[in-house]
Structures are given as structure tokens and as C-alpha cells.
Structure 1
């Protein structure tokens, strides 16, 4: 995926019949001129052919209705080949056919009129020998000569067209339309295969492809003379302008649209258990995270609607509140989704974000693979599907949209690669800075892991291609500096709020058991349709939402085979290193040796104590493997699709299918969701909670039991409550983070009662502690929703507050205003 390498590869043309030079001539009804052109080209190549080591001429017929084809076939020259189109579609289509059929290490494209004499080829070859990947014959440079002048009007139109091209599509090349160009063969086949235009604007499209890929292009002065019989007509100019717009703003083709539709269908199928009824269905394996994420979307929409600070909320953790910027509130989507959340509810908003986000992420990886690795849509589809729907992504799809909605990551990677070319550095850097700022509001940890993955790839690729790396260092560093200057002003205040604002913390200690083990990398995920084993997967992971490895031994063996087979390609070596290094890092600071009761130091120890990295769950680093393995898969399928032997092709594709089959996920598990009691949905709570007061669920919400967040959102976020499920500081003096809040006496007591079902003996000290806690929480009422062991809970609260509860609209309520003053 180097900016200076066509996917890091020679293409499918690496075959026995490779020749030194392919001359590709597009032809449409050229019976009058083609014969003379072929004679001239053959004569020149026979005189100079020794320097090429073999040559061929490919005539690409564009559906001619005259004797153009016969002029080629009747010569019976094995060095002369004909490829045909069944219908007339345009010069671009003919060139695409001809270049695809070429086999040369160099590819010369020349028009059938031979307006630039074939002898000018030597000038172009000198430019390629100096390190350029393409040489464009130019009529606009000093040193070029013009024979018979063109028609004055055509000359003016051509000049205007070149100015327009340089201003919108291809910079630095004064004459893109001269039909005499020499290319590096592999790069030409990659660029023409990626082209979509059928008209003569394909010259612009291909050169733009070279420039955006960072492949150097030289412009060489040539002799040129106008030839009669031009195929360009006045009505072609509007089509040319339309094609320029398509080059500047590329539109997806039918295959791209089909890929996007399939990605969407895959995402909907994965979430089918909840997608079609999100308000009444709950993802079983999300534990309490679905409640938490719906709350994030609801509270963000509420803050935006009421013009409150979107970085903070007092609705949980009363009286301290919640630092939303220090949590995964995903403001980059929860803010723009405010209208959806307010209109359809947070459950629908969350479901749409997760489902559409996974499809968009797959489409973004697909786009990157097509752009950087292979134009084969089938190969790109398979690689992107693995990148976006790998087992770790499926696991996080239960509960963590910040780890599956990653559509910005491929765009960031592509923009960073553009910086390496040194062209348009400032513009690309500004865009990169804006992208990084936006991704920070989608998921900071995902951005950190992506940066780590790109750093691993860059290091490996630099080792594989040191010269390219040396050339890329300066523009890359300059661009990153500009990107940082753009990004930091946009994020400095939110980050300051996150790390220094109310309820901020420095890091979270996730405890032991957060790293992967080697068996976890080799095993199959719980949701594998064919090979899933829930007991084994859960034994090798933290919980169903953190199955961050589970790529399965067949895929890892396939990746090893791909690496060995395609080892000569720098991109393959870099991708393989990235996947292997990420897998090793995910094993944590101490690596458990398989089949032995011992550990050895792991490379993660170098990162574990660093700021930001100290809060990362180590096993999540293995998620970097997903796009790396996806790209290796795309390269392998691209190679197999071009294999000459049908047996090798189909055997290889069968092996790929067998390795991927265990990774096909079953739909995420879901179950009916308990209805929120009418006490909340019908507004009965309003009679018990005055302005400035909180409602206290019994027991208090916490990470292990956060259904109260659903009750709160069902009540329109009308009341605050103590406790909750969020990340906050352990206490005023300790800036380390915890999940939930430190438990006060009453919260701890009620949690123990729920766990044991035993009502303790309540004495005066306990009642005093409870009064203190209720005052701290500014409680207006306590509410107990029917649940297991609620009898013990009700007895305990009766004793603590000194009065029995009332049954109101499906819940037990202790009104703390009774005996003091009238309830509203």
C-alpha cells in the first residue's frame, strides 16, 4: 500500500510471455491510417528492438464497422495482437481493453494517426530510466515542435481545455491530451483497470490516478503534427466536461454500488434480532452497555435541544455528575443524530448508528483497498468484509459502536499516505487534521489504535523500501505538523475538559485478565455460525463484548501462506508485520506460554505505562489485525483471479473460502426487553421529585445492573439519580478512574441485599448513614421496581426510612416528603 508502488506489486501480467515493450493503439474505423501506422511502428521496433528484449503491438478495436480488424488479422504477425469490443464505446474503453491485454514492462500508448512519430519513444524512455513511472509527450513545452498546425478553433478549444484540466484534475502537466505516452507496465495496467471513463478524458483520469498514487510523471517535449481525420467532434466537448466532473468527484460504478448494498445487508442481518424493533428488543450479550449507550444518545440530544453543555450531565452520579467527554458519548454522531433521537427515541438512534456505521466502515475499507491495493472489486469486497466484520468487530457490535463505526480510519490512512508523496501537502494535511479531530469525537481509543497500526505498517514498509521511506519522511513530517496545527485548536478545549474538567480522571485500571492469550488468537468466536463455542470463547475473554481475537487457526494459516507466497511485495511484508506485531502486543506485558504454567515479558510492557496507553485494554490491540488481514486477503484473491491455471485459481479460492467459513457470524443474540413501568412512562414520578431533587432507584444503578438508565430515558430524562454506569474518578483525592461511582453506605447495603436476598438488621447507625446519603443525593423519593429478591429489598428500605412503601403505577415508592410537608 505504498504511495510509490502500484499496490506494492507486479500485477497478473507476471507471466512467461512478458515482453519489454507493448505498444497499444486504440482504433475506430481506421482502415485508411492504421496500415501506415503499423508499418512505421514495426519498422522502428525492428530497428531498435534489441533494447527492449521483445515487443508486441496491441490494436484495441472499438467496434469498427470498416476493415480495421482485417488490417490487423491479415498480417499474420505473432507480434501483432487484436483485441475487440463488440460495440463502439469510446477511446477510453478501447485503451482499457488494450492495456489490460498488454504484457510489456513498458507500455506505449499512441493514437492510430501517429501524430507524434514513434521515434520520439526514446525521449520518453529516457524519462522512465531516470525514475519516473510515466512520460507524457507534450506539445506545450519548450523544445517541442509542431508540424502542420491545427485548426485554429480546435487549437483554442484545446488550450482552454488544458487550462481547465490543470486547474481541476491534473496539476503540473501542461499537455495531458497528447496521445503519445509511455508507462511503467504494471502501473499502467493498475491505473487503466481502475479507470471508469469511456471517452477521451481517460488520459486525464489515468494521469490523476498516477499523481494521487504518488507515482512520478514526467512531461517530455516531442515533435507533433496535425493529422486529418480526427475522431474528436464538437459534440464531444460537453461529454469531456462531464467526464472532468466525474474525475474530480468520482461516482461509484455498478460493482461499487452492489458492494455497498451487500455491506448494508450484512450489517442488517447481523443486527436483525433488534434492528426491526429496537425499542422492544435488547441485545443479550451487550450486558448493560446497550442501556448505557442509549443513555449517552438521549442525554446528548437533551443537552443539544436545551442548549446545554454537551460535555457534561448531572442526570447520573448525583450530585457530582458525569463528564461526558471522559466517556464514550460519541459526540461526533450523537450530536448530529439529535433530531433522530428526539423524534424516534435513543434505541432507534443507537440501532441506526451501529448498523449503518458498520456498513459505512466496510465501504470505507473497500474504497481504500480499491484505491491503494487492487482494482478488482471482488477482492476488495472480501478484504473489506473481513476488516469490518471480523470476529472482534462482531463482538463489539453488541455494545460498543465506537469500535465498529470506524469509517473515518480508512480515510485517515489514505490521507496520511497522500502526505508521503509531497504533492498538495498543505491541502492534504488540513484535511487530515479535520479528519483526526472528527474521529476524536467518534472514538479516541479507536484513533489511538489506528495510529499504532499505521506506525507499525510505516516502520515495516520503511524497512522494506528504505529509499521510498527517505523520500517520504520530509513531506510526511511537514504534513503531520500542519495537521496537528489544524486539529489541536478544534479539540484542545474538549480534551482539557476531559482530563481536567469536573469528574475527570487520569486513567482506568482494568485489572488482571485483560490481555489475549495465544489460544484466543487461534480459537473461534462465540458468534461463529459454524464453529462457535460460547463456553470456550468466554473462558478466553473478558466477556462477550470483549472477544478481541478469535480469528481462528485456518485464517492465520492462510495469512501465513499469503505472506510466504507474496513475500516479494513490500505491502505484503508490511501488512504481515503489522498483523503479527499487533497480535503479539495484545498478549499484554506478560505473555502466557502455551502448554506451560509460566509467563515471559511481552512487548506491551513498553506501552503499558505510557499516558493514554495505560487505559487501553490490551486485548483490543488485536483489532488492528482485522484490516491488515483483510488487505492481505484482498491481495491474495487478486493474485488468484489472475492465475493462468484454472486448477491453481479454483484451488486457491477454495482454500480462501474454507479459511473464511468459520468466521461467518450468526446474528447477534437478542431478547424481548422488559417494559419500563408506567410510573416512569406515564409521568407519575413527577409527583415525588421536586426541582433540584433526585429519584433513587433501589438498588442504585451500577455497571452490573443499569436498567434504571432505561427507566430514566423512558421518563424523558426528567429526573436525575445517584449512582449510574459511566467512567469517573474514584474520589476527590484519587484521579484514577472507575466504572460507576464509589459506593456510599446505603448503595453498598442495597447491592448486598440484592445479591444475597437477605434483609439485614437495621440499627440506628444504619438509619443515620442512610439519612446522610439521602441528603447528599438530595433525594425526593426511593423507587423499587419488581425484581428478584425485591421482598428483602423492600423490607430493608422500610426499616431504613422508617415507613412502608406505597404501590404506585407498577413500582414501590417511598416518598421522602411525607411527614415534612405536603406533596405536590
Structure 2
């Protein structure tokens, strides 16, 4: 093989050849003569002949030429697809022209293709079937009919809108051509469809240019070749996972299992203490959804806690999109098993979805995509929420929604993609509305930044994107209008949920390490910079921040890098809240979140969570850097770069989540001993009432198969004015006093007024009995209840019981 000329190449012409000794010589003469006549127009060029195991003198025709710009690459017989992969891989041009050896489309047509490429397209197809095309000598009638039938099949199944995929005269952007052909797998004619489909899925623009085409004698294509072509299309239709993708999927599952290893194999008897009371709450959500479905009750409401007012389930994150389909498992194995299964599989599926998006849209290097997706799904904020919030762990729909929105920008299948996006958005609303809102913030930041740096792309994309979003809204709204009406206007609805003054991130939190960091975790420092262990929403660590900054500086020429950097930085700044203080000073500064804080929907968002948007943005930046690094020829550069990446990521590797033995449920609830004390329409009052401080009674209710109703509870509900949200039921005097005793052990003086108030509260709760279970300060609680009721309780199957049906 002749050595490639040194220096950059402006145009590569790739010619696949198999036994072309009769036609290749005139073709090479025509191509080189045309390019030499106007070298000022075409710049530095090369012709790469990819020989597909010829048995005649095809190779000699190339090697006999003294022009070093005409090169030969050879390989075993693999078909046209193999030859094109070989030739394109050997090319070095900024543009790559692929042409058949028969030159059915004259080389002079290159002028029109190049013009189309300069207008922002990634590929320009020499087409015989668009207005303006002319045909000289035609093929045999049978071949023409078979070709038209194949073209119709391709347009229907693979490339709608493309009229001529099989004309062997195509001009590509060089880098994108090498990427697309490298990703191809087919060996025959089907590679043309496969490569164009690859570009289409990456939202690359493809132009069809009318050319003059003439059938050339000596074609080797017979009827059986059409059968092989259809077989290749069938292979293309059935997409199979690569072994690397299967391995990555398994690794993500093992990573999720390792994180939850403490309770994965015995979820009924293990508890995540860093979830505070959220594990009890979420198991109740899974259990009550299955209970409602089994008894044909309203899935949007329940009075099993918060009795008698009840709970607006749509105003709580019950994740009907998963609690409903997992209801059979919940009924069969219990809510603890169902919740554990959903969180483990959901976390792995989320990582897999980010991996798919990164491979499809960002990099092709599988190892780089794996590392980027791992950061997106297992970043410290995600690990923090993995303790307690499946709605922020099970995010597999978010990458799919992002990908579908990007498809809209291409303008190829706007109606179909708009419909699919609407269905996806509707489903995500039933998984979690706040994650969808945060994802929308991230997408707006990215789109705005990308539109600024690539205005040409934005001009082409905004119309189909807007049209697709309108179609998506038209599809989504009819599905969600009734559930949302119930959420915002139904029983026990509320307007907004305030979260206090400590819900934003400190700038130090972005640079520090999370509690569950295996290497650098510091519970005391992380606790000082976050509201609780489930809301460590930043904590990316200063090494990763420095690495991200270095990546952005090194790859700044990339529009994608600029947009990702702006997305991560914008989300980090928004997460600081309406005001923020520079560490080490006392002066506060207004933050951009102040513009959103009082707006509908945003007023209920915990603004610190906006920093979670940084995770996928940083993951994609990391994937881009790793792909570039792994392609660097210098071993020393690779070593230093990989060492830096390892040092930045090592402090973020999470330790398995903490678990403890779950306290045993008193036999009073599991054995049915409660039944004589609770009549129809009454409730069982656990003392103190369940709330955000201790929601264990929700677990006892599950163990009793939801046989009794509970006043109080742990959920989002309305305060007295009906528009402000609070955690739990609106407190009453008696419930507040009993909670104080639980927390302090101090029993106030309970005179006649307290006893009268307690009777009013017992009547409001329709209490059949009061129950004090073993717990800290149980003696103080038992003393208080005895004074309120006017008689001692009775010890029944592990609890103290006061039957309110008996007279004092």
C-alpha cells in the first residue's frame, strides 16, 4: 500500500472495488483529471481504492500509478460493506466522497454535493429520484422494478423522507463519515442504509441532490443479491445489543445491588436509617396503591392515614407509574420487597438509559460512555436520594425524553416524535413531577447555550421543535388533566409546599464530599452543609470540579462542551437559592433562583435539588474527555490523563447504604388483636400519632393488612388555610402535646381543660382505641394517656390499649 501523503487532506474519494479491472482504470482517470483541473477548488485530495479481495488485476491498476495521492487498501472478501468500512477508515479528508467503481454518477456532480454539504448538512446524496435529476441509459426493467421495491421498503421502515438511498455517489463530513462507517456492521449493500440511518438517529442533516445518472454495463448485481439485501435489512431492523452493552447493563445492576446490599436480601427486616421516616412512608405508598387496586378504590385518594380527612395521593409522590404495575408483587411479597426491587432495578435502568443516550448522542467509545453514565446515575446527590426517594432514583424516562426532544430538532418525524414525547411526559408525571421540572430546567439551560454557539442549528431546529412540543402537549394534557385537577383542586389538595430557609446549597457543598463517600466521606461536615442525609444535593468534590474545568478549557472549541459547561454551571448557581453567602463572609447576595422562587410549581421545589442537573452534564463532559484521551496516541499522555480522572472520581465512589435491624412489629397488630377495639368507621390512635418524626405506625398498619385507619400520618397535606402544604395532618392540641412528650419525656400538668380537649380530639378522630407501643418515653406517654382517659390501659399482645368504648 502506498504511504499516505503528509499533511491535512481536504477531500478523500473512496472507491470500493471487487474484480473491477475493466471499469476502474477509466474511473480513476476521470476522478484524478477532474480534481487536478481545479485544485484551488478542491484543495489537497486523495483517492482511496478499497479492494475487496479481487482475484483479477484490480490491485495492479492502482499500484501501477505513480501518483502518491491514489492509494490502495486491501482486505479479504467481505462485500461492499466491508470494503467501504476499510476505505473510509483509511481516509483522512475533511470531506469524504463515496463513489462506485462504475462512476454511474459523473464526478462533475461533486460540485452540487459539496454545495449542499457547505449549507450545514452532514451528508449529501446524489439522488436519481428528486426533481431535477436526469437518467441516461436505464437498467434492465426487472432490476429497475426490484430497485424501486427495495427503495420503497427502505423509505417505509428505515429512512422516511429519503427518496434514493442506494445511489453510490455520496459526500459526507469526514469525521462523521468515519464515525458512522465505524459503527456499521453490515457487509453488503445494506451499509448505505445503515450509515444514513446512523446519521439520522444522531439528528444529522441529510440532503438529497439531483444528479445525472446512467446505468453502466458490467454490473455484478443479480437477483440473488436483492434477496441478500433484504436479509441485511432484516438484520438492521432487529437491533441487537453488543456484548459491551450487555456487560455494561450487568455492571450497572451489580453496582445498584452493591449500594443496596444491606437490605436487598431481607427488605422486610432491614431499615435504611438515613432515610429517616421516608422508608416507612414509601412502603405505605406502595402498599396503599396495591390495596386500592385490589379493592377497586380510588387510586388518587385514601383515608387510611390522615383520618378522617384523608390523603390526596396525587398531591404526594406515590409514583403510580410504578406502584400500579408493581401492585401484583406488592400484594404477593409485600411493600418492602416491592420498594426494594423498584429502587434497585430503577437505579440500574436509569444508569442504562444515560449510557444509551451518551452512546447515541455524545460519544461512541463504550468505556467512556460507561464512566459518564455511572457519574450521571451514581453521583453523590443520587446516592443521597437512594436512601429515601425513588422518584429521584428511578429516572430512566428522563434520558429517553431528552433523546426524543433532540429527535424533534431534526424535523424528520415531527408528528410521530411529538406523540411519543407526549406519552413519555405523561408517564414521567406519574413517576415524579419535580424530576421532570428539574430536567426541563436543565434542557432549557442546554438549549439556550447551544443556540447561542450554534445559531445555524438553532435556526433549523426551532420550528420542528416547537411544532413537536405543541403536539406533545396536545397528547399529554388529556391524559393528565384529571389527575392534575385532583392534585391541585381535589380533597386535601394544597397550593405550595414551603421547605424552610436551609433548602438551598452552600457554595462549599458543591466542593465538599458526601457522607457516603467510601474514601473521603465525612458525616459531620456533610451534615453541616445539608438539611439531612437524604438531601445532600451537591457534594461533587473539588477534584471533580477542577477536572471538569480542565476538560472545558481543553475542549472549548466544541459547541457541545460549551453547552454542557453552561448547563452544569447554571444549575449549580440556581441551586444556591434566592440568596447566597460567600463562605467566610457575612454578606448575602441575590441569586437567580429569586426570579423563580415565588412562581407556580417552582415555589414547591427544594432549590438545592437543582444541582442534581449537574450530574448528567458532568458525566457527558467526562465521557467526551475520556473518548478524546483514549484516542490519543501517546501512552504517557493517556496515563497522566487517566490518573487524573481516577483521582477525581475515587472520592465519589459510594459506600453501601447504611442499614439496621428493623424493630419488630408488636403482635397486637400482626395477630389481629386490634380487631375487637375498632368498629366500622372508627380509627385506631397510636400514641403519639404518626408524623415525620416517627412514622412506624404506617408499617404496623401494613402488617395488619390495612385493616384499620390512622389519624395523623406522614404525607403532604394542607394546613388550615388549605393552600399551604405541611408534612402530615393538620396538628391538633392533643397530637402536638403527645409528640412533645415523645421527644422530651416531660408530661405537662393535665387538668380539666386538657382532658376536655382530648375528648374533642378523640371524637374528631373517631377513635375506637388508644395504643402505646414500647418506645423511648413510653412510661411518660402511658401516664399522660391514663390521665386524659381517666383510667389505666390494658396490656394486650405487647402494647398498652385504652378501649374508648368503655366508660371511665
Q: TM-score range by the shorter chain?
A: over 0.9
Which residue does 2:230 correspond to in 1? 241
Distance 1:116 1:402, change over 3 A: same
Paired residue total? 803
Q: Does 1:721 align with 2:716?
A: no
Q: Does 1:668 align with 2:625?
A: no
Distance 1:131 1:460, change over 3 A: closer
Distance 1:569 1:771, change over 3 A: same
Which residue does 2:13 correspond to in 1? 23
Query: Is the contact made by 1:61 and 1:94 (CA closer than 8 Å) also made in structure 2?
Result: yes
Which residue does 2:408 correspond to in 1? 419
Query: Is the contact made by 1:388 and 1:626 (CA closer than 8 Å) also made in structure 2?
Result: yes
Q: Does 1:782 align with 2:766?
A: no
1:115, distance to aligned residue in structure 2 (A): 3.5
Alignment counterpart, residue 810 of structure 1, candidates 777, 782, 798: 798
Most deviating of 287-296 and 681-690: 681-690
Q: Does 1:337 align with 2:332?
A: no
Alignment counterpart, residue 45 of structure 2, candidates 55, 62, 77: 55
> What whole-Å deviation, never above 9, does each CA across 1:94-146 have from its counterpart, x for those lacking one?
32333233211110112234333434323322332444332212233455455
Q: Does 1:384 align with 2:373?
A: yes
Which residue does 2:272 correspond to in 1? 283
Which residue does 1:7 correspond to in 2? none
Query: Is the contact made by 2:274 and 2:534 (CA closer than 8 Å) also made in structure 1?
Result: yes
Query: Is the contact made by 1:120 and 1:223 (CA closer than 8 Å) also made in structure 2?
Result: no
Which residue does 1:647 correspond to in 2? 636
Aligned-partner Cα distance in 2 for 1:327–1:342: 21
Aligned-partner Cα distance in 2 for 1:16–1:556: 39
1:785-800 matched pairs, under 5 angstroms: 785-800=773-788
Which residue does 2:574 correspond to in 1? 585
Alignment counterpart, residue 702 of structure 1, candidates 682, 691, 710: 691
Query: Is the contact made by 2:127 and 2:208 (CA closer than 8 Å) also made in structure 1?
Result: no
Aligned-partner Cα distance in 1 for 2:171–2:617: 34
Alignment counterpart, residue 165 of structure 1, candidates 151, 154, 161: 154
1:243, distance to aligned residue in structure 2 (A): 3.9
1:147, distance to aligned residue in structure 2 (A): 5.3
1:724-763 matched pairs, under 5 angstroms: 724-731=713-720, 733-763=721-751
Most deviating of 684-693 and 206-215: 206-215
Query: Is the contact made by 2:493 and 2:722 (CA closer than 8 Å) also made in structure 1?
Result: no
Distance 1:165 1:339, change over 3 A: same
> What whole-Å deviation, never above 9, does each CA across 1:450-478 have from its counterpart, x for those lacking one?
11111111111111122322332222222
SS of aligned partner of 2:139: coil
1:700, distance to aligned residue in structure 2 (A): 0.8
Distance 1:88 1:767, change over 3 A: farther
Most deviating of 510-519 and 810-819: 810-819
Aligned-partner Cα distance in 2 for 1:352–1:260: 16
Query: Is the contact made by 1:211 and 1:217 (CA closer than 8 Å) also made in structure 2?
Result: no
Which residue does 1:11 correspond to in 2? none
1:557, distance to aligned residue in structure 2 (A): 0.9
Query: Is the contact made by 1:210 and 1:217 (CA closer than 8 Å) also made in structure 2?
Result: no
SS of aligned partner of 1:684: coil
> What whole-Å deviation, never above 9, does each CA across 1:145-200 have from its counterpart, x for those lacking one?
55554343322211100011112211222221111111121222233234343332
Which residue does 1:8 correspond to in 2? none
TM (norm. structure 1) is 0.93
Which residue does 1:506 correspond to in 2? 495
Query: Is the contact made by 1:530 and 1:664 (CA closer than 8 Å) also made in structure 2?
Result: yes
1:233, distance to aligned residue in structure 2 (A): 5.2
Which residue does 1:598 correspond to in 2? 587
Aligned-partner Cα distance in 1 for 2:235–2:39: 39
Query: Is the contact made by 1:139 and 1:224 (CA closer than 8 Å) also made in structure 2?
Result: no
1:338, distance to aligned residue in structure 2 (A): 0.9
Query: Is the contact made by 2:136 and 2:212 (CA closer than 8 Å) also made in structure 1?
Result: no
SS of aligned partner of 1:738: strand
1:412, distance to aligned residue in structure 2 (A): 1.3
Alignment counterpart, residue 221 of structure 1, candidates 183, 193, 211: 211
Aligned-partner Cα distance in 2 for 1:268–1:71: 61
1:526, distance to aligned residue in structure 2 (A): 1.0
Most deviating of 535-544 and 17-26: 17-26
Aligned-partner Cα distance in 1 for 2:79–2:697: 65
1:452-491 matched pairs, under 5 angstroms: 452-491=441-480
Aligned-partner Cα distance in 1 for 2:399–2:541: 24
1:143-542 matched pairs, under 5 angstroms: 143-146=132-135, 149-212=138-201, 213-230=203-220, 232=221, 234-248=223-237, 250-542=239-531
Distance 1:487 1:397, change over 3 A: same
Aligned-partner Cα distance in 2 for 1:156–1:274: 64
TM (norm. structure 2) is 0.95
Query: Is the contact made by 1:193 and 1:375 (CA closer than 8 Å) also made in structure 2?
Result: no
> What whole-Å deviation, never above 9, does each CA across 1:687-725 have from its counterpart, x for those lacking one?
221221111111111011011111111111111101110
1:301, distance to aligned residue in structure 2 (A): 0.9
Query: Is the contact made by 1:140 and 1:221 (CA closer than 8 Å) also made in structure 2?
Result: no
Distance 1:234 1:339, change over 3 A: farther
> What whole-Å deviation, never above 9, does each CA across 1:626-648 have from its counterpart, x for those lacking one?
11111111111122122233332
Aligned-partner Cα distance in 2 for 1:725–1:588: 26
SS of aligned partner of 1:416: helix
Aligned-partner Cα distance in 1 for 2:304–2:510: 40
Distance 1:278 1:237, change over 3 A: farther
Gaps of 5+ in 2: none
Query: Is the contact made by 2:316 and 2:716 (CA closer than 8 Å) also made in structure 1?
Result: yes
> What whole-Å deviation, never above 9, does each CA across 1:478-499 have from its counterpart, x for those lacking one?
2222221211111111111111
Aligned-partner Cα distance in 1 for 2:395–2:588: 34
Most deviating of 545-554 and 239-248: 239-248
Query: Is the contact made by 2:343 and 2:394 (CA closer than 8 Å) also made in structure 1?
Result: yes
Aligned-partner Cα distance in 2 for 1:794–1:93: 82
Alignment counterpart, residue 766 of structure 1, candidates 748, 754, 767: 754
> What whole-Å deviation, never above 9, does each CA across 1:250-282 have from its counterpart, x for those lacking one?
332222222222211211111111122211211
Alignment counterpart, residue 36 of structure 2, candidates 46, 70, 77: 46
Alignment counterpart, residue 126 of structure 1, candidates 101, 105, 115: 115
Query: Is the contact made by 2:161 and 2:412 (CA closer than 8 Å) also made in structure 1?
Result: no
1:93, distance to aligned residue in structure 2 (A): 3.5
1:336, distance to aligned residue in structure 2 (A): 1.2
1:804, distance to aligned residue in structure 2 (A): 2.2
Aligned-partner Cα distance in 1 for 2:549–2:584: 22
SS of aligned partner of 2:521: coil
> What whole-Å deviation, never above 9, does each CA across 1:567-598 have from its counterpart, x for those lacking one?
12111111101110110111111111122122
SS of aligned partner of 1:217: strand
Query: Is the contact made by 1:391 and 1:548 (CA closer than 8 Å) also made in structure 2?
Result: yes
> What whole-Å deviation, never above 9, does each CA across 1:601-623 have from its counterpart, x for those lacking one?
11111111111111111110101
SS of aligned partner of 1:705: coil
- Pairwise CA RMSD: 2.3
